[in-house]
A and B are shown apart, each in its own frame.
Chain A
Amino acid sequence: MATGTLSQRQRSDAQRRETIARTIRLVRRALAYAFMIALGFIFLFPIIFMLVAAFKPNDRVIADLASFRAFFPDPSTLTTANIQDVFARVPFERLAFNSVFITFVTVIAGLFVNSMAAFTLSRLRWVGRGLMLGIIVSLIIIPLEAIAVPLMMEVNEMGTALNLVITALMGMLTVLLWIAVWNASGGWVDDVGGGSLPAPAAWLLQAIFTAIIALPLEILTSMMIRQTIDGGTWLNTYHVQILPFIAEPFSIFLFYQFFIGVPKDFDEAAYVDGAGPFRIYWQVMVPLSRPVFATVAILKFLQFWAAYLWPLMATRSSDYRPLMVGMDFFQTQAPIRWGSIMGYAAMVTIPVLIIFLLFQKWFVQSVSSSGVKG
């Protein structure tokens, strides 16, 4: 009897204790969520405000600030007037094209150039390799901001001889990319035609693939050739915003770190099959290293899309200016319309936010792998 009551009491005690524990857990979880949501508001409110203000009538942008209406669009007054004003005041399409073209070429060419350099540093034996690695690691510290002024002087004085050298280099890069894509696209053409295409048709298709993928570099090279012939300063061109930033010590370092982790067995097998270094790079290393390519691509995309200081210094007209520098126009040219400013800000931000949301897993991965360091 006595033992029965005891065990009953014990059981109810245990039950009560568990209820308390569960309540504590629930409260703790609710508090964590409340805290995280409050923080989330702090991180989002400027962005939400900007997106909402972009589609409000200009006079409401400031009038709504005193209340929570700053964050909520009023459906009855939604308007695209700000967006139209942006198009009326700046050549938005041109600025957007400039930004996309510059970012795209810098990232693509950078992936190619830096990964090749890292390949030679990590896989090929040559005199001065250790020294070169040391130089590249120490160059990581030098910020662009520190060399911007002398660099501006340098590109302004760029003589014909140096122009020729750089143009030849770009030509060589384009040819390398042609070879690489030609190589790889043979397989794609086989996939497309089921391996049954007659040789001339397959070659034609391969040539088209190659030309399209290498297109940005081809355009850039042709513009450089034109400039070398015409002469004149580098300032206010596309290549002044692209060429200095293609090779980048930190990207080379990231590639290098990844490549030395790839087992040597893979390339040894390819060597036995008679493949040369470039073939091993392109057909063994690149396919094995997709994560690091994604990492560098995303980090560099964020960096060049947001580039401000150098384009501001090196460009003078909206023919070659990117979107970030275009923002200056709204702040300096009267009348200052905050609605248009928010419209412009939203138009620049929305595409990137969409890309970010679509590939956010990759974004997060790339940032975390940039910090992996012994």
Chain B
Amino acid sequence: MAILMGGPAFLLLGLFMIWPVIRGIDLSRTNQRFDGAQAAAVGWSNYDKILSVNVIRLPDIPDPLPEQAPTAGWYRSNDGELIFRWRARGLEEIGLGQYADYEIARQFSIGGNQYAVIAKDPLFWKSLLNNFYFALIVVPVQTGLALLLALLINQKLPYRNVFRTVYFSPVATAMVIIAVVWLFLYNPQFGLINQMLDFISGGKLGPYQWLQSSSMAMPAIMVMSIWQGVGFQMVIFLAGLQDIPEDLYEASGIDGANAWQKFRFVTLPMLRNTTIFVVLTTTILAFRLFDQVNVMTPDGGPNQSTATMVWYAIRRGWGQSEVGYASAVSIVFVGIVLIISLIQRGVIRSDTAE
């Protein structure tokens, strides 16, 4: 009977969750394409391409600079800017031949020496960093705001449930739809957000380029994501707040605790498990970022500033039909999500042990 009743779920999970992971590992070691071209085994080369990253010291800036731009090396551009040209053909001559497969991701200088971060697939690293950037800002801000909203709603005020409904309503609307509406709100020429900033600041702020600027695009998506998701966490915090026994507050009141002390020494410790849950789920959600990015910046944003790992895997696997390579990206993505969950769990466990 157990087989008959549990069987459907276990079979479906095996077919559509476990098997794709196994198949993904399998595909990631081929150059399989979706358009039916013959696939060949390529060993670990996809992973090598994805994960190869290095910091190297660039050759010293020659003095005088060459009149003509070399195939690879330092030269001064027409704008007078000092540029290191990185061309696979020319790297051999300047002793960097072993890095012919790499591209420059970032350049910096320490103490007069020039260095470069190079990677075989810079866009993957860019996407990964963007995910971390998103998570590092959104997780604490959204958790903090959710707690603040929950505290506000938890006051014994008449009509508080109206506000709870209002703050929660973005959660009930689909992200894709919301992203399109915000795309309009963020429009640099006539978007409502620029108009409102202009109105509030009396013309001092804006107009901003939001999604068209590489420094603003990701923050703009963060703001919208927090706006859409914070109600969900608020409700979870609210449940946590309502589970705190009233006697604790009364007892601390008798001990002479003020409002802040009550919050610090009663509310926060009692919300510990809730906070852990909220942080864990928000972190995983931050790494799964795709819908709003794909709707608002289908090309990964200006200067790839809103590219994310999922966006990148889908672009390679579905958009460019490179299933093998995208599977490798997906497997690396699963690995990263797994490592983050394990680290978080470890932190929580050692925290509890103290």
Contact = CB atoms under 8 A, between A and B. Distances in A.
Interface of A: 29, 32-33, 35-36, 39-40, 42-47, 49-50, 62, 65-66, 70, 113-114, 116-117, 119-121, 124, 126, 129, 132, 135-136, 139, 141-143, 145-154, 156, 162, 166, 169, 172-173, 176, 243-247, 249, 252, 276-278, 281, 302, 305-306, 308-309, 313, 324, 327, 330-331, 338, 341-342, 345, 348-349, 352-353, 356-357, 360, 363-364, 367-374
Given A40-B166, A147-B24, A371-B236, A66 B195 contact: yes
A352 B178 CA distance: 13
Interface in B271-286: 273-274, 277-278, 281, 284
Q: Is the interface of B mostly helix, strand, loop or mixed?
A: helix
Contacts of B310: 145-146, 309
Interface of B: 1-13, 15-21, 23-24, 27, 32, 34, 149, 152, 155, 157, 163-178, 180-182, 184-185, 190-192, 195, 227, 231-232, 235-236, 238-240, 273-274, 277-278, 281, 284, 287-288, 290-291, 294-295, 310, 313-314, 317-318, 323, 326-327, 330-331, 333-334, 337-338, 341
Contacts of B195: 65-66, 70
Given A153-B23, A368-B238, A371-B239, A306 B175 contact: yes
A40 B174 CA distance: 19
A148 B314 contact: yes
Contacts of A345: 177, 180-181
A194 to B, nearest CB: 34
Contact of B174 (A146, A162, A277, A348): A348
Contacts of B175: 306, 308
14 contacts: A65-B192, A70-B195, A124-B1, A126-B2, A143-B288, A146-B330, A150-B27, A173-B8, A244-B16, A278-B4, A305-B174, A331-B180, A360-B165, A373-B277
A309 B290 contact: yes
B174 A306 contact: yes
Nearest to A347: B177
B8 A172 contact: yes
B5 A146 contact: no
A364 B287 CA distance: 25
Given A345-B180, A364-B235, A372-B239, A142 B318 contact: no
Contacts of B288: 143, 145
Contacts of A148: 313-314, 317-318, 330
Contact of B167 (A39, A70, A162): A39
Contacts of A309: 290-291, 294, 310, 314
B164 A143 contact: no
Given A35-B152, A309-B291, A327-B295, 9 more contacts: A40-B167, A148-B314, A169-B7, A169-B12, A244-B15, A306-B176, A309-B310, A364-B164, A372-B239
A358 B7 CA distance: 36
Nearest to B276: A373
Nearest to A29: B157
A42 B184 contact: no
Nearest to A129: B2
